[in-house]
Structure 1
Amino acid sequence: MSEQVPVYDNHIHMSPSGRNVDALKEFEAAGGTGLTLVTLPYSEVPIHKGGDFAESYEVTYALAQRAREATSLRINIAVGPYPVLMVPLAEAYGLERAEEMMVRGMEDAARDVAEGRAVAIGEIGRPHFPVSREIRDASNRVLLRGMELAREVDCPVIIHCESEEYTDRSLAEIADMAGLDRSRVVKHSSPPWVTPEETHGVMPSIPASKTNTREAISKGTDRFMIETDYIDDPLKPGAIMAVTTVPKRVKAWLANGQVPTESIHRICGDIPDSLYGR
């Protein structure tokens, strides 16, 4: 693959118990040039108090450092309290305490961005499955605080939540409340919603399947990013998608001319550069 063409995966995880650096070596060998490394809830760091999130971010930073030493990849790091944790934390400590813990995780993520250790807060948001009204309301309050902090430290947020017709409008409205530019809100695992009417200004990050990318491209815009959400689980080695999916997709675009080279530069270069460059 031409060195001039960027190949960027906007959502990859590394796990201490997974392939971690070897997976990113495979990504690079396939043609990958950069990625957003997003923190995970690590079994090695159970969350019992708000300050534990910062400890879990240290795992992400250590894995990123190892990958930077072993590859030439551009690695942008996103850290934040994984929104699904609101559910077990509320069960264990009560909803009020769980919300306080999640906010502390947001605050520590924002501090790390301000210090240059990360470039985005994420993945944050709300559970992607049905929950009680109380859990959803608390999750939205935590998300609002995360967006406020992102505005303060001038960084994007990467959102994990449901994908319904109302979702991007809802995220845009919360961003407006927080004073955060809608374009700084990245909808992870987005359907191929790419038109202004569909996104309401939110930036879609689309799973890099043939079906999703074909539909997105067919709408006549290149305002989106692509991702695998590779989770680096040794028990599920290709989940959510194989780590080589984005390089293969871009290589196919170049071979068949389906996507103009300038659009590839926008999807895999200009957009992530504008979001994560600090």
Structure 2
Amino acid sequence: MLMDGCWTGPILDQHMHLDRSNRFLDAVLEFSRVGGTGIMLVHKPGFSSGLPIDLDGYRVAYSETLSMAEEARASGVNVGVVLGPHPVAWEHQIEPLGLARATELHLEAVGLALDHIEAGNAVCLGEVGRPHYAVSGETWEAANDMLREVMAMAAAVGTSVQLHVEDNGVTTCRELAALCDEAGLARDRAIRHYAPADVSADFTHGLAATVSVGSSSVETIADTAASANAPWGMETDFLDDPRRPGAVLGPKTVPKRTQQLCSALLEADWEEEEVINLMTKIHSDWPSRLYSIR
């Protein structure tokens, strides 16, 4: 599925948000026009419109994400749904609700998302995790205790999780791997979202990853892909938020980086069959393993 050095197979953006009040289907069509074939639509918390304060609020919010997925599929793009409560939403709710109630609500929302996954409405739990910014020691400890419980809940159902975490290099991966082991969740079922471009086993510690494919990512991916030991993929973390233009990557990025990675690997003397094999894993085989119950 390489033609003149270009990949002609499936192309999947593994972490994209959509917002009905912003670009929504225009963003999906932009992705499709440049070769994109599938997205993982990740539930977007309503930081501006108001966060849920009870489980009924989460039912409404999740229903909206599932509805947008159905409409996006009608455009001809494959859409999987990643459903769950955001860790930053939890941290924001500590002050109005108290730590105990905010945590209880978060875990209730995880349970609701897992119900949707078991029903076949969604394919992955996420994005869950811990705050990516400095918080108090008490909040950090509570976040890790909660994440360990979330991982155990996911493991009991047999689903993967997309993780929203801080960027502290290999230390973050090492800590997440330990949490997975404590919770009984296979490391390669824990997907580090917005991951650095180093996909080597030494860096990931066996965690799966969706790499934020910024302009400087291709060289590092090409240098480390041969030493990976866990599934990885590409993402934009497209926010569909006009108030934050340029905060993350646009819908056309994953198709563009896919072609650039093919070129970089061929220039690094990879055989065409090796490149085809890797692209098939990135955009088809590994996602099929990650985004299913087992």
Give the alignment's TM-score, normalised by structure 1. 0.93
The alpha carbon displacement at 1:87 in A equals 2.0
Q: 1:168 aligns with which of 160, 169, 173?
A: 173
The question of whether the paired residues in 2 share the 8 Å contact of 1:81 and 1:102 is answered with yes
Matched, 1:236 2:251: no
Identity of aligned residues (%): 33
Q: CA offsets per residue over residues 226-261 of structure 1, 9 Å max, x none?
A: 110000012335541011001111233445635722
Residue equivalent to 1:267 = 282
Show CA shifts across 1:175-224 (max 9, x none).
Answer: 11221111000000111231222111101211112312310220234642
Selected match of 2:32 from 18, 23, 28: 28
2:150 equivalent in structure 1: 146
Residue of structure 2 in register with 1:191 after alignment: 196
Task: Report how far residue 155 of structure 1 moved.
Answer: 0.9
The letter of the residue matching 1:46 is L
**Change over 3 Å in CA distance of 1:88–1:254 after alignment to 2:** closer
User: Which of 252, 256, 261 is the aligned partner of 2:260?
Assistant: 252
Match of 1:37 in 2: 41
Distance 2:150 2:279 in 1: 31
Q: Cα RMSD over matched residues?
A: 1.9
User: Residues 10 and 58 of structure 1: is their aligned pair in 2 closer, same or farther, counting only changes over 3 Å?
Assistant: same
SS in 1 for 2:166: coil
Residues matched between the structures, number: 277
Provide the rounded CA distance (Å) in 2 between the counterparts of 1:196 and 1:221: 6
Q: Which SS does the other structure have where 2:194 is aligned?
A: coil
Task: Provide structure 1 residue ranges, at least 5 long, that are not aligned to the other structure.
Answer: none
Match for 1:181 among 176, 182, 186?
Answer: 186
Q: 1:78 to 1:251 in 2, by over 3 A?
A: same
Paired residue secondary structure (1:135): helix
Match of 2:208 in 1: 203
Per-residue CA deviations over 1:146-175 (Å, capped at 9, x if unaligned) read: 211211221110000102131111111111
C-alpha contact 1:128 1:162 (8 A) present in aligned 2:
yes
Counterpart-to-counterpart distance in 1, 2:106 and 2:200: 32
CA contact (8 A) 1:128 1:160 kept: yes
2:137 aligns to what? 133
Q: Secondary structure at the match of 2:216?
A: helix
More displaced stretch, 97-106 vs 214-223: 214-223
Q: CA deviation at 1:47?
A: 1.6
- Conserved 8 A contact 1:90-1:98: yes
TM-score if structure 2 supplies the norm length?
0.88
SS at match of 1:104: helix
8 Å contact kept, 1:32–1:247: yes
Which of 103, 113, 120 aligns to 1:99? It is: 103
Distance (whole Å) between structure 1 residues aligned to residue 61 and residue 81 of structure 2: 13
Question: Would you say 1:87 and 2:95 are equivalent positions?
Answer: no
